[in-house]
Amino acid sequence: MEQISLQTMSYEVFFEKIENELKDPSNQVVSYYGVREDNSLQMFCTIKNTQTDHKQTISYSMLDEPGLLLVSLSGSHPQTYDFESSISSSLGINFASICSK
């Protein structure tokens, strides 16, 4: 299996990068998930351009903290709601726009 090297960034940069990519209506989130490893959380979001079939994966890593609350992408990009709901229920991460639902 080929090992892929991913650029890791802060959540703020991750969020901003995805926001910018999704301004193009041809770009769609096809996968968004997280894994817990030791004392850190690693999150991965894959975006596919429906016109070119180009895919890119954006990732971030942070310390795992109880009660972590992150700004939700689903407020401006409803397509991410199910992904964030799954991350929230499986990893206990709270997203600002889905916490109150």
Q: pLDDT tens digits, residue range 76-100? A: 889 899 999 999 999 888 888 754 4
CB burial of 61-98 (b: ≥16 within 10 Å; e: otherwise) equals bbebeeeeebebbbeebeebbebbeebbeebebebebb
Residue range 24-67, pLDDT digits in tens: 999 999 999 999 888 888 899 999 999 999 999 999 888 777 77
pTM over 0.85: no
